[in-house]
Structure 1
């Protein structure tokens, strides 16, 4: 191990020892899970932005295939626990949200921001953790965007909406499970028909190990898409098992933005959203007592650890006027959109569909036009690469 990886590992251990002293007994386990998430995301270079850019521009569906596989695995893993409704001593609930105008607009805005920024919410965390300076700017303004969205949320929620619909709640898992798996299988068949295999497949974009598994590829190489997708499905299931709810990201960014606003004199009592009991408690408590916050920090540190062990950490990312301005706009759009849409590519799309919630399906349907528009806008900023 090199010096940087030793320092990062020590920092993680010190932070873990501090988290262990907190009253929430599950937080230390969630922190470990999030570290593994960060390692997995970085080693697999598993981003949603790049997958859809490749699909739209080149008809390369490999990234989409891996996401379908991830959703199938997560759906199968989630079903028994959600059907039971509890595990050990706590309740288990899925990610379920209303079908609303706010979600439609928010998902579209997030899709635009995701392509303009070159990364999704989870992608911004692991790319930032590997040293990309531009992505760090995206993360900062993601917080501001999510906070601003929280201030406007009550107004958006006055617009037409339909109450949350979970296929499992409506029809039972004996119907919901085969129905959702059939839809995913159909989508796989459609995308297989549309898929055009690239002439030159990079190792990092293969569905499985090209030359077989070996230790060198595990530590220094890029993990194949299917391995990464499988691990993310299992890790999301572990989050559900430990915390009682699926993986989410956006809430933490909203909270961080609110805490920063308080430093400049903003009063939570002036906001309908932030004057609620849960939100007020989160603002009063330390960041590390918030589950989503410590998990976001863990993902960032996990990616930093993986990059440093592989000797791949370096400060990168073009910092010029176009790069900075596009990063700011991307962060604001993703943050604002995610707050309106009840989550990002993780909380709304991944966890929502795994919970058989229709809002997860509506999210991706509305985000896809945003991807298309965002790709075209990004060309003005010379943004050609997405993870």
Structure 2
């Protein structure tokens, strides 16, 4: 027990302070470059869709007849979670975010303050999910794939994200506080 406390106090105490933004930017840049070199793009939206289909498959639901799964996405139905690189990447994003929050002592479970807050969060999540599906990518894929490759669609996506964030913030203040 004493060994674990010593280890934690020695290493995690250093991590409790925020990292310099430059270091975080460099790490993200190296990871994006590495991912880009291998010809991949980060795609959370489609991966989460696959998760839903795989879960549905275990419950007896069959999505193989959907036109979406007739082309390049047909392989995804066969492999499952542990055989899909995107699933492992998204799992890594989730676990990495959790570890970052835990080591910085920033993880909090908060009680929902009101029904308005629940409605605002649900509406925002639905609109973001719908926007990601319509755009056929997510913000992670845009910022790690489309913008670094100087794709016009990436820059347009970013402009509309800023516009949406502004409108959403205005609506949050006006209607949900």
**TM-score class normalised by the smaller sequence:** 0.7 to 0.9
Find 2:164's aligned residue among 352, 356, 370: 370
Establish whether residue 239 from structure 1 lines up as the match of residue 35 from structure 2. Answer: yes
Establish whether residue 318 from structure 1 lines up as the match of residue 104 from structure 2. Answer: no
TM-score, length of structure 2 as denominator length: 0.78
Q: Which runs of 5+ in 2 are unaligned?
A: none
| Cα pair distance change 1:375/1:307, threshold 3 Å | closer
In 1, Cα distance between equivalents of 2:54 and 2:138:
21
Q: Which residue of 1 aligns with 2:91?
A: 297
Q: Which runs of 5+ in 1 are unaligned?
A: 6-214, 383-387
Mapping 1:253-264, distance limit 5 Å: 253-262=48-57
Q: How many residues align?
A: 169
Establish whether residue 333 from structure 1 lines up as the match of residue 127 from structure 2. Answer: yes
Find 2:16's aligned residue among 217, 220, 236: 220
Find 1:275's aligned residue among 42, 63, 70: 70
| Cα pair distance change 1:326/1:265, threshold 3 Å | farther
CA RMSD in angstroms comes to 2.7
Between the two structures, name the one with larger relative contact order (CA 8 Å, sep ≥ 6).
1
The answer to whether the 8 Å contact 2:64/2:77 transfers is: no
| Cα pair distance change 1:365/1:308, threshold 3 Å | closer
The answer to whether the 8 Å contact 1:282/1:290 transfers is: yes
The answer to whether the 8 Å contact 1:353/1:361 transfers is: yes
| Cα pair distance change 1:228/1:261, threshold 3 Å | same
TM-score, length of structure 1 as denominator length: 0.39
Query: CA offsets per residue over residues 327-381 of structure 1, 9 Å max, x none?
Result: 3222222122112113122212442010121111121122232122111222223
The answer to whether the 8 Å contact 2:12/2:103 transfers is: no
The answer to whether the 8 Å contact 1:353/1:360 transfers is: yes
